[in-house]
Amino acid sequence: MSGRVEGKVAFITGAARGQGRSHAVRLAQEGADIIAVDVCKPVSGTDLIPASTPDDLAETADLVKGLGRRIVTTEVDVRDFGALKAAVDSGVEELGRLDIVVANAGIGNGGETLDKTSEEDWQTMLDINLGGVWKAAKAGVPHLKAAGGGSIVLTSSVGGLKAYPNTGHYVAAKHGVVGLMRAFAVELGEHSIRVNSVHPTNVNTPMFMNEGTMKLFRPDLEKPTKEDFEPVAKFMHVLPIGWVEPVDISNAVLYLASDESRYVTGVTLPVDGGSLLK
Ligand SMILES: NC(=O)c1ccc[n+]([C@@H]2O[C@H](COP(=O)([O-])OP(=O)(O)OC[C@H]3O[C@@H](n4cnc5c(N)ncnc54)[C@H](O)[C@@H]3O)[C@@H](O)[C@H]2O)c1
Convert the pLDDT of each residue in 7-29 to its tens digit.
999 999 999 999 999 999 999 99
The whole-number average pLDDT for the span 167-171 is: 96
CA distance linking residue 156 with residue 16, whole number of Å = 18
Are 251 and 26 in contact, with CB atoms under 8 Å apart?
yes
What's the gap in Å between 207 CA and the centre of ligand 1? 6
What's the gap in Å between 228 CA and the centre of ligand 1? 23
Q: What is the pLDDT of residue 38?
A: 98
With bands split at pLDDT 50, 70 and 90, how would you rate the model's confidence at 256?
very high
Atom in ligand 1 nearest the alpha carbon of residue 155: 41
Q: What is the pLDDT of residue 185?
A: 99
Which listed residue (164, 170, 255, 263) is catalytic? 170
The whole-number average pLDDT for the span 166-188 is: 98
Q: What is the pLDDT of residue 49?
A: 80
What count of residues does the chain have? 278
Contacts of range 274-277, beta carbons closer than 8 Å, 24 or more positions apart? 274/237, 274/238, 274/239, 275/158, 275/201, 275/236, 275/237, 275/238, 276/158, 276/161, 276/162, 276/199, 277/238
| pLDDT per position as a tens digit, 110-160 | 889 999 999 999 999 999 999 999 999 999 999 999 999 999 999 999 999
- Ligand 1 site, residue 107, Cβ cutoff 6 A: yes
Q: What is the pLDDT of residue 99?
A: 99
Those residues whose C-beta lies under 8 Å from the C-beta of residue 62, and which sit 6 or more positions away, are none
Q: What is the pLDDT of residue 190?
A: 98
Domains, the chain, ordered by start? 9-202+245-277 (3.40.50.720)
User: Coil, helix or strand for 29?
Assistant: helix
Q: What is the pLDDT of residue 216?
A: 75
Active site residue 170: yes
| pLDDT per position as a tens digit, 29-77 | 999 999 999 999 999 877 778 899 999 999 999 999 999 999 999 999 9
pLDDT, mean over the chain = 96
Are 169 and 124 in contact, with CB atoms under 8 Å apart?
no
Q: What is the pLDDT of residue 217?
A: 79
Q: What is the pLDDT of residue 48?
A: 73
What's the gap in Å between 224 CA and the centre of ligand 1? 22
Q: What is the pLDDT of residue 210?
A: 87
Pocket test for ligand 1, best of 79, 135, 203 (most atoms within 8 A of CB): 203
The whole-number average pLDDT for the span 189-198 is: 99
CA distance linking residue 142 with residue 98, whole number of Å = 9
Are 136 and 181 in contact, with CB atoms under 8 Å apart?
no
- The answer to whether residue 234 scores a pLDDT higher than 80 is yes
* Number of alpha carbons in the 13 Å side-chain half-sphere of residue 222: 0
H helices of the chain, in order, are 18-29, 54-66, 81-95, 119-126, 132-146, 168-188, 211-217, 226-235, 246-257
Q: What is the pLDDT of residue 110?
A: 82
